[in-house]
A and B are shown apart, each in its own frame.
Chain A
Amino acid sequence: MTAAPEIGSARLRSEDARLITGRTNWTDNIQLPGLLHAAFLRSPVSHARITRVDVEAARERPGVVAVFSGADFADEQGSLPCAWPVTEDMVLPDHPPIAVEEVRYVGEPVAVVVARDRYAAADALEAIDVDYEALPPVLDMEEAIKEGADLVHADKGTNRSYEWVFEAGDIDAAFRDAPVVIERRYVQQRLIPTAMEPRAVVCSVVGDEYTLWSATQIPHILRLMLATVTGIPEHRLRVIAPDVGGGFGSKLQVYGEEVACLLLAKRLGRPVKWTESRSEGNATVHHGRDQIQRLSLAAEADGRIRGLKVDLLADMGAYLMLVTPGVPLLGAFMFNGIYKMDAYNFTCAGIFTTKTPTDAYRGAGRPEATFGIERLMDELANELSLDPLEVRRRNWIAHEEFPYDTIAGLTYDSGNYEAATDKAKELFGYDELRAEQAERRERQDPVQLGIGISTFTEMCGLAPSRVLGSLAYGAGGWEHASVRVLPSGKVEVVTGASAHGQGHETAWAQITADRLGVPFEDVRVLHGDTSISPKGMDTYGSRSLAVGGVALYNACDKVIEKAKRVAAHLLEADEKDIEFAGGSFSVRGVPDQTRSIQEVSLATFAAHDLPEGFEPSLDSDATHDPDNFSFPHGTHLCAVEVDTETGFAKIRSYVAVDDVGKVVNPLIVEGQVHGGLAQGIAQALYEEAVYDADGNLTTTTMADYLVPSAADLPTFTTDRTETPATTNPLGVKGVGEAGTIASTPAVVNSIVDALRPYGVNDVPMPCTPERVWRAIRGGGPEHSSQPGAGGGLGSAGGEA
């Protein structure tokens, strides 16, 4: 009676039923009796002192219930939290949810209207009169750290929030007399996460009971943080993340609008809703990336890496939000990639600018690091006239060397870079494409072929709590699950992970069905409501399965342990002789005497005849704190055709072979890879948040900020190798960010590879046709490979 295993099966998703029929419960769909609508007046300038806010005229507008400036909330709105003080002397400015004295980026809230509907609220914004006294915008990180620079926070005396250093090995020795030194300056442009569902918040207060619905990834963290910021007791505040339409890190945040809605509902005694418009969101949802990377790599003449120096400027934007300062530091552990080296030096300075704050965006620090090292590996190969795959092979950790302690201080538990690369090469037709490339170069084809490589790894399963503690992060990295076995034998699973598109309801049911031997259909998964799921650390950093899935696995084990006692009692056998398989308990050696888990569940519910002292419940919970991160890896290969006359780069084929360990649902894994690739490719080719010289964001709409459409993307070839993680019983690693992390360098490497004959060694992202065209016309600046020859740190690519 053993059913086919659920883990590993391509189950169609349970959550689809509501999503494909329009019965989804988005936050903006929520209606409550007496619901009011909020709209925020936002700063139209990059940096200014607020000298006057007059809301009187707005209060007289039809339909308006109340209008408040930041000053009206000055005593109770607190400061938005930063949970990651990365150094003891980190500069952490106050961040009022609604600005009181000064505005520091375009879009910062200045006042709020509450009205009977969203149109009336928006209308009344026009009647608010604000006087600003202009202050200088601070937009360029390299200028911002110069002596005498204009300051974002004048009272702090510096634009530098922190400097964080990691050193391992003798970096001077590694660079001294190194036969090859590659020095590059790369820019990780600023990105806008752009979840399809805009942010929305609804808050209701009844007596002293607060309920806040938010389009958030982090209902549990949000509850704690809102309680801390507002002083509302944590047990009086329920946070619900209903159906959430994507996050990609952007909803891993405690936003000023969430605090404001809570305070508005409290002050007005009526429920309040706020839903952002897209152009409002582009300016005010936290942004991602935005780094200037100065990288130096020292290598032997045969291509083996001696050492790596990383010097980052990371744009914090105007304030430090929930994990703003920590995001670039996640890269500290990933710049070494899959490679062995003797020495490594990482320095990151967090810099304030008068721009929207940055924070986690899909990959969070790891895409930036992976881009840096994977671009450098191609540059090293070019310098030595080696195949870029061969240079990687000479440096990567061989599969028999695992577990491997990396120079960045992590222990990679498992991996097989050879297997993933071999498979990718074959699917890609690597040798044939290299031959075609040579042939096109030979005949000076105006359409050149480029091949880009990315052999990446990443750290997932955030995170061992003790590691987070050592990095001064404000919380742990455990995850919680509970399993409730109902009298009928049906099962309710409660998870602290908070899905927003990932498919937890399906994958968690698969794990439970396998562990408890119950039908998939008999499992219901609950999440995203602090009253239903009281404990959790939520969903980000590809952690849900590797941490939350393991918590569920352990909770199921506890259910079985309890049920075994009952089964032994019912079967009149010793508990030690009870075996459990396929949902059935039996006595060893007496296979015809069985009790199903459903029978045991009913007997436990009735509680008429239980073992002496047995608490009549099979329900169990588990909190899992991982010992280590998990390390998905893979080899991605991109073939691009670059029209050298127009600069247009077209992806011809893209092969992604990912090793995410054991797979619970291959359908979901493939979908995650597809979507991740799209976002990584978008960084390489399309997307950039652009500020003008006055600090105005010019990419506020989807007409300006180019999220790719179906017509802009290729059909991907995806496959997997499977090297199970050894650090968790499921053998899983996580897949949410792999595609995004791997694909950006693969695409840029392919474009640069196509243009090598033109002397190009970099094209700044996004590699628009104009930039590619200019790179071809201008050639790439010469980067010295000789130590001591100087130069080589200028921006490559000839961008005007």
Chain B
Amino acid sequence: MPRVSVEVDGVKYDDDVEPRLLLAHYLRDRLGKVGTPIGCDTSNCGACTVLLDGMSVKSCSVLAVQADGKDVTTIEGLGDGHGLHPLQQAFHEEHALQCGYCTPGMIMAALDLIRENPDPSDQEVREGLEGNLCRCTGYQNIVRAVQNAAGAMRQSPAQEEATR
């Protein structure tokens, strides 16, 4: 069985894994990182989105072995342990979630979107998050939350840096 060495939310793990094991299942079933949910099996919904070396990936379409030597950030790794990340705060304040199942993936995808485009327009947010489905909110508050968080992150880039 191949061995992977991965850092997840600041903690190093070395594990033997089946070559076919999906990163999403490695996180959830092996590491107990259940903050990242799974919503589909065709990489359409984006609920399982995490950052892999700072870039957003759908962890259901990455094998655990592909994460070898890499750094994974999940929703559980955002914020500083006490306070919320600006995106988490904005999702709360703008009521950008209802059932919350898509929220971890939505926030992680938005983080990558803001990294690429620190001041996205309404349409840019909508197109940037096209790979993440939400069934509850109709997206309107999500778009506003992402724009507000982007604004907050432009104001205090240090915090953005702290959470990558």
Report which A residues bind B (CB closer than 8 A).
Answer: 12-13, 15-24, 26, 28-29, 31, 117-119, 194-198, 243-246, 248, 277-279, 500-503, 667-668, 670-672, 674-679, 701-703, 707, 709-711, 713, 715-716, 739
B101 touches A246 (CB 8 A): yes
Residue from the list A12, A117, A678 in contact with B95, Cβ < 8 A: A12
Contacts of B130 in A (CB 8 A): 709-711
Residue B100 is within 8 A (CB to CB) of chain A in the complex: yes
Once the chains are docked, how many angstroms separate the CA of A702 from the CA of B102?
A: 14
Q: Which of B25, B28, B101, B141 has the most CB of A within 10 A?
A: B101
Q: Tell me the complex Cα distance, A117–B100, Å.
A: 26
Q: Is the CB of A195 within 8 A of B141?
A: no
Q: Is the CB of B76 within 8 A of A710?
A: no
Is B126 in the interface zone, CB < 8 Å from A? yes
The majority secondary structure among interface residues of chain B is loop
Interface centre among B91, B93, B103 (most CB of A within 10 A): B103
Tell me the complex Cα distance, A22–B92, Å: 13
Contact call A20/B138, Cβ cutoff below 8 A: no
Chain A positions within 8 Å of B99 at CB level: 19, 195-197, 244-246, 500-501
Most buried by B among A29, A117, A678, A710: A710
CA distance A138 to B92 in the complex (A): 48
Please measure, in the bound complex, the distance between the C-alpha atom of A13 and the C-alpha atom of B100, giving whole angstroms: 12
On whether A246 and B97 interact (CB within 8 A), knowing A21-B88, A701-B44, the answer reads no
Q: A697 CB to closest chain B CB, in angstroms?
A: 14
Complex: A726 Cα to B101 Cα, angstroms:
36
Residue B65, interface by CB 8 Å: no
B44 and A20 contacting across the interface, CB-CB below 8 Å? no
Q: Are B135 and A117 in contact (CB under 8 A)?
A: no
List residues of B (1-57) whose CB comes within 8 Å of A's CBs. 18, 20-21, 25, 28-29, 32-42, 44-45, 47
Interchain CA distance A303-B135 in the complex, whole Å = 39
Enumerate chain B residues within 8 angstroms of A18, measured Cβ to Cβ.
100
Q: In this complex, what residue of B is CB-closest to A672?
A: B98
Inside 8 A of A501's CB, which chain B residues have their CB?
Answer: 98-100, 136
Q: How far is the CB of B140 from chain A (nearest CB, A)?
A: 5
B135 touches A701 (CB 8 A): no
Would you call B161 an interface residue if the criterion is a C-beta within 8 Å of the partner chain's C-beta atoms? Answer: no
Asked if A277 contacts B41 (CB within 8 A), the reply is yes
List chain B residues, Cβ under 8 A from A20. Answer: 75, 84, 88, 91-92, 97, 100, 103, 107
Those 5 A-B pairs whose CB atoms lie nearest each other, nearest first: A22-B35, A19-B100, A501-B99, A245-B101, A674-B138
Do residues B37 and A710 form an inter-chain contact, with CB atoms below 8 A?
A: no
B45 and A22 contacting across the interface, CB-CB below 8 Å: no
Count chain B residues whose beta carbon lies closer than 8 angstroms to a beta carbon of A: 59
Are A16's CB and B92's CB within 8 A? yes
B129 at the interface (CB under 8 A from A): yes
Contacts of A715 in B (CB 8 A): 122, 140, 143
**A682 closest partner in B (C-beta):** B135
What are 8 pairs between A and B in contact, CB < 8 Å? A21-B75, A118-B29, A671-B95, A674-B137, A709-B139, A710-B142, A711-B129, A716-B140
Q: Give 14 A-B pairs besides A501-B99, A675-B98, A711-B129 with Cβ atoms closer than 8 angstroms.
A: A12-B92, A16-B92, A20-B107, A22-B36, A24-B35, A118-B25, A245-B101, A279-B41, A674-B141, A707-B133, A709-B133, A710-B130, A710-B132, A711-B127
A178 to B69, CA, bound (A): 78
Given A12-B93, A196-B45, A246-B98; A678-B139 close (CB under 8 Å): yes
Q: Contacts A244-B99, A501-B99, A674-B141: A22 and B74 contacting too (C-beta < 8 A)?
A: yes
* Set of chain B residues within 8 Å of A117, measured between Cβ atoms: 29
Q: Which residues of A contact B40 (CB under 8 A)?
A: 277-279, 701-702
- Known contacts: A677-B138, A716-B140. The answer to whether A196 contacts B133 by CB under 8 A is yes
Docked CA distance A12–B107 (Å)? 18
Bound CA span A674–B143, Å: 12
Please state if B126 and A711 are interface contacts (CB–CB under 8 Å). yes
| Residue numbers in A under 8 Å from B33 (CB-CB) | 22
Q: How far is the CA of A197 from the CA of B41 in the complex (A)?
A: 12
Chain B min CB distance to A689 (Å): 15
A425 to B15 Cα, complex, angstroms:
62
A667 to B29, CA, bound (A): 36
- Specify which chain B residues have a CB less than 8 angstroms from the CB of A196 in the assembled complex: 39, 45, 47, 99, 101-102, 133-136
